[in-house]
Structure 1
Amino acid sequence: MISLPSQGYIRKAILFYILFSISILYGIDTSMASSSYTFPLGAFGGCDDTNRKLYLTRPYLSGSDVEELQERLHQLNFDPGPIDGIYGPQTEAAVKKFQVTHGFAPDGIVDDTIWKLLGKGFERPTTTKQLNAPEGIIHLVIDTNNKTLTVYANNKPLKTYPVAVGRTETPTPVGEWKIISKSSDWGGGFGTRWMGLNVPWGIYGIHGTNKPWSIGQRASHGCIRMFNRDVEELFNWVSVGTPVKITGQPQLPAGIKRRVLQPKSVGPDVVQVQMKLKEHGFYLGMADGRFGRMTETAVRYFQIFNNLEPDGKINQDDYQQLGL
C-alpha cells in the first residue's frame, strides 16, 4: 500500500512552492545594486599590483611586493637573504649586484625598469596553440587549484592559459562573475590589459603582469595574472558581460569567525553558503557573493525542510546543517 505524505510534509511543500513563486516574481540577487550590500570583515583582497619604488629606508619597507622581489632575486642566484617580505640591507645588496650585472648604477632602487629587467626572457609558451577569434558564446573558467584559465566557446573548451592566482592570505574570489570593464592602459604591475570582475567586496580582475615568473603560482592579491601576450589575445575575445566562473574553495580571511548572514550581506562566506545550497538543490541562482532575495528564499527553503527556524538568515545551526 502506498502511504500518503504527512500533513507536516504537505505544509512544507506548500511553503516551498509559495517561496519559490515569490523568488521568481522578485527576480535574482544581482538585480540589487552592489553598493547596498555590506561586508563587515575589514579590508580583504582586491588587486594591489601597482608598483611602488622599493629601496632601503627606515623603517624598512615590507609587503608582498618585496617578497616577490626576493623570490625572483633568489631564482636568479642573487641572494636577498631571508624571503620575509622586508627590504633590508641584504636585499638591497642583492639588488645592487643585479643592477651592476646588467649595466645599471647600483642605487638599490627597484623601479619599473628593474621590474621589467627581472622578468626578461621569462615569457613561456601557452598550453595550446594560438587560434583565431572564436565564434559563438564565450565564457571563461578559472581553476584556482590548477592555476589555469580556459576559454569556452558554445560550452566547448577552446584554449587554456597558465595563470597566477591569489596567495593563501589574499585568495582569488571563487564564484560566478561577469566582466564589467576592459582597459588597456593600467600598466605597471597590471601589465598591458585589464578586465574587471563584478566581485562585490573588492577590486578584482584578469590582467597582465610585469612579473611573468609568478605565472603558475599563488602570488597575487586575489587577481588573475596572465602573460601579457596571453591577456592581449584574451582581451580581444571577451566583452563586457562575458561570464567568468572561478572554481575552488571559497576562503575567508585568516582569523575571521563565522558571522550571521542576512539580506545585503556580501563576501566569500556568502559564496560558500550559495554553493552549498546549490549542492543540496535549494538554490538556482548565481554564486555571486550577494545575499539577495533569491538567496534569502533558498535559505528559507532549506530551513523549512531541515526543521530550522525559517528566518532567512544563516547562523551557526544553519552553517552546521549545511556542512560548513
Structure 2
Amino acid sequence: MLFCCIFFQGSLPSVACTDNLSCPELKHTEPVQSGAHILELQDLLQKAGFYSGKIDGSYGPRTEEGVRHFQEQQGLDANGVVGHNTWDALALLYEQVIATKKEKEGPKGVVTIKVDLNTHQLHILDDGQVFKTYPIAIGKSKTPSPVGEYKIIHKALNWGTGFGTRWMGLNVPWGIYGIHGTNKPGSIGQAASHGCFRMFNRDVEEIYPWIPMGTRVIVTGYTPDFRGFKRPLKVKSTGQDVAILQYRLQELGFQMDYADGRYGNATELAVKLFEAYHMMQVDGEADMEMLGRLNRYFPE
C-alpha cells in the first residue's frame, strides 16, 4: 500500500508518496515522540488553522489535540494518532495549503476577529490592528446574531448545505452559530441569516487558514435595552441577556472577563461589586432591581 508523507522544502512542507516505513505512526507517548516528521506535521496543521502551539518537533498534548481536530473535520477516527489514513488526508490538506499560499499572505501576529453588526463588516485584526475587512450578512431581526465575545471551536470544509465552502463554529452557549460561506451571495451586506455570519465563499476561503482554533471573536453592535429583559440572572444562567449584562458591567469597569453569555464566578463577582457600590444587598444575583439600577447608566 502507498500513502503520503510530508517533507520540508523551504518554508512549506512538500508531499511525496513512499512506502509505509517512511511515514512512522505518530502519537502522544511517554517519553514524548520527537523528530522532523512532527515538525512538519505541526507546521502544516498550524498553516491550516488546526494547531496553535509551538512548532517544536515534540508530539505533546497540544499536537495531539490539533490532530484530533483535523481528523474530526476529515471524518476520520479522532484518536490523535497519525497513521496511514491520516497521512493520506494530510497530503490532501497540503495541496489546499499550497493553493492558499499563492494568495495574499495572512496576518503575522495574534489574530482576532471583530464583527460589527451595525456596518455588516468582519475585521481581521493582526496584533490588535485591522489587517483586512470583509462584508458579511448578519442575523435577521427575528433571528439576531449573538453579541458578545466568543471563540472558534470548530472548523470544517463544506460543512453542510447552505454553509458554503468553509465553516468556523463559535462557542455561543445558547445555539449553533458560526462564520461561513454561502450559496446566496446576494444576501451579503444584509440582515438575512438565522444568526450566523455569512461571507462570500472566496472571502471565507481566504481567512480560513489564518484562523486557529481558539481564535477570539468579538461581536459588537446593537445592544438590547435592559427594560426588555424579563428574568433575573444568576450563576449558571446563559443567554444574550447575560452577554449584554457583562458588556454593561465592562463599560462601567466592574466586569473583567469576556462577555461570553455565561454567568460564571467572574460575572457574579462583578455584580457583587456593583451591588456593594450602590449599597444594595450583596448576593451576586442580577435581579430586576439590580438590572433597573444598572439601566439608569444607559438611557435611550
Which TM class, normalised by the smaller chain length? 0.5 to 0.7
Q: Give 1:161 deviation, angstroms.
A: 0.3
Q: Which residue of 1 aligns with 2:278?
A: 306
CA displacement 1:56-110 (0-9 Å, x = unmatched): xxxxxxxxxxxxxxxxxxxxxxxxxxxxxxxxxxxxxxxxxxxxxxxxxxxxxxx
TM-score (norm 2): 0.62
Letter matched to residue 222 of structure 2 = Q
Contact 1:173 1:250 in 2 (8 A): no
Tell me, what secondary structure is at the counterpart of 1:289?
A: coil
Q: Which residue of 1 aligns with 2:260?
A: 288
CA RMSD of aligned residues (A): 1.6
Q: Give 1:280 deviation, angstroms.
A: 1.1
Q: Gaps spanning 5+ residues in structure 2: where?
A: 1-102
Rounded to whole Å, the distance in 2 between the matches of 1:223 and 1:240 is 18
Structure with the higher strand share, 1 or 2: 2
1:152 to 122, 125, 142: 125
Rounded to whole Å, the distance in 1 between the matches of 2:165 and 2:228 is 35
Q: Which residue of 2 aligns with 1:317?
A: 289
Q: Which residue of 2 aligns with 1:225?
A: 198
Identical counterparts, % of pairs: 50
Q: Gaps spanning 5+ residues in structure 1: where?
A: 1-129
Q: Which residue of 2 aligns with 1:265?
A: 237
Rounded to whole Å, the distance in 1 between the matches of 2:152 and 2:229 is 30
Letter matched to residue 203 of structure 2 = D
Rounded to whole Å, the distance in 2 between the matches of 1:224 and 1:158 is 19
Rounded to whole Å, the distance in 2 between the matches of 1:192 and 1:181 is 14
CA displacement 1:97-133 (0-9 Å, x = unmatched): xxxxxxxxxxxxxxxxxxxxxxxxxxxxxxxxx7312
Rounded to whole Å, the distance in 1 between the matches of 2:104 and 2:218 is 22
2:209 to 223, 228, 236: 236
Q: Which residue of 2 aligns with 1:131?
A: 104
How many residues get paired? 193
After TM superposition, the runs of 4+ consecutive aligned structure 1 residues lying more than 3 A away are none
Letter matched to residue 165 of structure 2 = T
Which structure would you say has the larger Rg?
A: 1
Q: Give 1:171 deviation, angstroms.
A: 0.6
Greater RCO (CA < 8 Å, at least 6 residues apart): 1
Q: Give 1:256 deviation, angstroms.
A: 7.2
Contact 1:137 1:154 in 2 (8 A): yes
Letter matched to residue 247 of structure 2 = M
Tell me, what secondary structure is at the counterpart of 1:179?
A: strand
Contact 2:229 2:241 in 1 (8 A): no
